[in-house]
């Protein structure tokens, strides 16, 4: 074909025959293998990362080697893989009847190697072992996978467990302020998690002296008397400031007094 125009690759005007490939126009000498520079006019080639490669170069550079026969798995063959190993489809077969295939030293016909839940053949799909059984990914997620208590999504990795309840790390947040609680101090109320600050503001007893929440973190001690509460560090004589923890005391209009100050 002869036409006037500009080639995308070399930017030169067409004045003679050209070819069209990959939705672009090429001088015939410029459509070549990215790896060996072989001219690809009237030849089969494969695109990899938007670059053309002749079949031998593609097999040498990109194709996996079959675990059984050690030969490249070229573009004309189906590549079956499991745990980073690859086979030609015709090499992935039963050792006895020469039908496909073997798993954990046991031979199976392809149509017999099925998901234990849906009973559909696994073929070249991904699956998860459960004891002596195998389960396809969709069935495993629907029936066996742990699900997040908040979003009900499947936990595929990581996660947080609290009271034997699983959560995505990003879903394990304070029920009041939304702060992520993974690796943080927290407690719960009615099975809902709260950060220390929010729990203290919402539910904790308040000290009669400093008015701050009385939290149980770190073995914090407190004193209660007639529905009033104190941090142990705040439970002191109102006048002389002597600690009254574990001692007899008097109450005078809501103030704590040691026996000596109470008599004066």
pLDDT tens digits for 133-147?
A: 888 888 888 888 788
Q: What would be the CATH architecture of the domain defined by 227-263?
A: Ribbon (2.10)
Give the right CATH number for 160-202 from 2.60.40.10, 3.90.1150.10, 2.10.110.10, 3.20.20.70: 2.10.110.10
**According to the model, what pLDDT value does residue 174 have?**
92
Residues of the chain with CATH 2.10.110.10: 5-61, 93-143, 160-202, 227-263
Mean per-residue pLDDT, 3-9: 41
Percent of the chain exceeding pLDDT 90 equals: 1
CATH number of 5-61: 2.10.110.10
Across the chain, what does the average pLDDT equal?
77
DSSP string covering 191-212, please? TEEEEHHHHHHHTS-B-TTT--
Buried b (16+ CB within 10 A) or exposed e, 130-161: eeeebbbeebbbeeebeebbbeeeebeeebbe
CB atoms under 10 Å from CB of 257, counted, come to 19
User: Class assignment of domain 93-143?
Assistant: mainly beta
> In this model, does residue 22 exceed pLDDT 70?
no
Can you tell me the distance from the alpha carbon of 161 to that of 167, in angstroms, rounded to the nearest whole number?
6
Distance between terminal CA atoms of the chain? 118
Can you tell me the distance from the alpha carbon of 235 to that of 256, in angstroms, rounded to the nearest whole number?
8
**According to the model, what pLDDT value does residue 27 have?**
47
Mean per-residue pLDDT, 39-51: 75
Judged by phi (left if over 0) then psi (alpha if -120 to 50, else beta), residue 132 lies in alpha
Can you tell me the distance from the alpha carbon of 257 to that of 24, in angstroms, rounded to the nearest whole number?
94
């Amino acid at each position: 074909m002869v036409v006037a125009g500009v080639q995308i690759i070399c930017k030169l005007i067409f004045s003679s025959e050209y070819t069209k490939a990959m939705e672009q126009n090429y001088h015939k000498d410029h459509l070549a293998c990215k790896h060996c520079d072989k001219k690809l006019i009237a030849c089969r080639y494969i695109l990899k990362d938007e670059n053309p490669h002749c079949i031998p170069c593609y097999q040498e550079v990109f194709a996996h080697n079959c675990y059984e026969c050690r030969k490249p798995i070229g573009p004309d063959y189906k590549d079956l893989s499991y745990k980073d190993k690859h086979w030609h489809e015709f090499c992935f077969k039963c050792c006895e009847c020469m039908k496909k295939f073997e798993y954990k030293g046991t031979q199976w016909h392809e149509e017999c190697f099925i998901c234990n839940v849906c009973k559909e053949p696994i073929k070249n799909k991904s699956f998860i072992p459960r004891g002596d059984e195998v389960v396809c990914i969709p069935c495993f997620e629907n029936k066996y996978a742990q699900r997040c208590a908040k979003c009900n999504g499947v936990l595929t990795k990581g996660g947080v467990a609290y009271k034997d309840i699983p959560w995505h790390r990003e879903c394990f947040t304070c029920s009041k302020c939304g702060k992520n609680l993974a690796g943080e101090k927290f407690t719960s109320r009615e099975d809902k998690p709260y950060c220390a600050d929010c729990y203290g503001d919402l539910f904790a007893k308040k000290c009669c002296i400093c008015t701050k929440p009385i939290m149980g973190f770190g073995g914090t001690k407190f004193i209660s008397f007639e529905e009033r509460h104190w941090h142990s560090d705040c439970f002191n004589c109102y006048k002389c400031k002597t600690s009254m923890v574990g001692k007899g005391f008097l109450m005078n209009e809501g103030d704590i007094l040691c026996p000596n100050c109470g008599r004066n």
